[in-house]
Amino acid sequence: MKPFTYTRAGDVAEAVRAGVAPGAKYLGGGTNLVDLMRETIEQPTALVDVTGLSSEVKRLPGGGLLIGAAVRNTELATHREVRARYPVLSRAVVAGASAQIRNMATVGGNMLQRTRCAYFYDAEGARCNKRVPGQGCDAVEGFNRMHAILGASPACVATHPSDLCVALAALDAVVHLHGPQGVRTVPLTELHRLPGDHPETETVLHRGELITEVELPPLSWAANSTYRKVRDRASYAFALVSVAAALDVHDGVVRNVRVALGGVAHKPWRARTAEAALIGGPATVPAFRAAADAEMAAARPLRDNEFKIELAARTITAVLSELAGGAR
């Protein structure tokens, strides 16, 4: 690991003053960053510890929730209002990592974790446009069973590894940022970028910008929501495909629906095509399947991951059916 300085930020303004310096990085639980530093993939010269900042979950006047970026994953999944009103979020959190890691990892850090693409991690043996822009991508022609089927580019086929973010995408969460130029908000679905020609730029964050909170809109019908993660083993593995969904059915008709996918793209993938196909239609398995297929029409498989298209379509269908009370 390369040498770096370590400081703890006492407040947001202090953090941002230190975080804007070249080479500085914010440190949350460290569960991804420390590992990447050990692999020399990340080489910050200064770490600004922000775990002492905003670690509350507050109820907003309109009924939404404001989640501090330093809230630990375990705390978020356990929070009474999250379990009751946004079960998809609790379920997504506990589908990820291990209990030990969830006790360390923060909400802000989870959003900014980097891909688990093996070629990205293999600093000595593989080419990667994320690590070394312009170097080339060994995953495109390599072992790419775990890789993206939606929104990828010739430069990068990596997936975003977060479960939490998939739920946040479905819930229309809004990310609160504090930077050298002041504060702003960005919808979670616009926080992460598709790779295009610049896969090394993964988010729309400006230098020194710090995630301070994530806001969940009130969304009363999200009480009927869940998360399903399909993976190679039953626990402690990254997603092949995951589905976060919320569904509001009235008299057999879909009144409102949210679907987001994990494990399929460079960012949490909000399935807006499927949602548009579902709203106002019947809450039946054929309708769910047709909507899933409509979403997957844009999928472009790689050598090893064509199975993800059918897997995603079936998982979307199964999750919506479950949320519709076992609809056929």
User: Which residues in this chain contact another protein in the complex, by CB under 8 A?
Assistant: 1, 3-10, 14, 18, 27, 29-31, 34-35, 38, 47, 49, 51, 74, 77-78, 83-84, 87, 90-91, 94-95, 97-101, 103-104, 234-236
CA dihedral (172, 272, 189, 41) positive or negative: positive
Strands 46-49 and 24-27: parallel
- Measure the CA–CA gap between 104 and 28, rounded to whole angstroms: 8
The CB-of-75 to another protein minimum distance in angstroms stands at 9
CB-based contact 95:129 (threshold 8 Å)? no
Paired tokens of 32: 């991804």
Paired tokens of 142: 């390599």
Residue 1 or 276 having the CB closest to another protein: 1
Residue 189 or 226 having the CB closest to another protein: 226
Residue 238 or 275 having the CB closest to another protein: 238
Residue 100 or 220 having the CB closest to another protein: 100
Residue 80 or 280 having the CB closest to another protein: 80
Paired tokens of 131: 């690590």
Tell the burial category of 262 from Cβ atoms under 10 Å away from its Cβ (0-12, 13-18, 19+).
Answer: buried
The three-point CA angle 323-327-328 to 5° equals: 145
Helix (H, G, I), strand (E, B) or coil at 174: strand
What DSSP character marks residue 12? H
Helix and strand numbers, DSSP H then E, in the chain:
13, 12
Residue 121: C-alpha distances to residues 40, 117, 167 (Å): 9, 7, 26
The CB-of-23 to another protein minimum distance in angstroms stands at 14
Residue 34 or 318 having the CB closest to another protein: 34
CB-based contact 315:295 (threshold 8 Å)? no
The CB-of-47 to another protein minimum distance in angstroms stands at 7
Paired tokens of 83: 């379990």
What DSSP character marks residue 23? T
The CB-of-90 to another protein minimum distance in angstroms stands at 6
Residue 3 or 61 having the CB closest to another protein: 3
Residue in 295, 234, 289 with CA at minimum distance from that of residue 265: 295
The CB-of-261 to another protein minimum distance in angstroms stands at 18
Residue 76 or 157 having the CB closest to another protein: 76
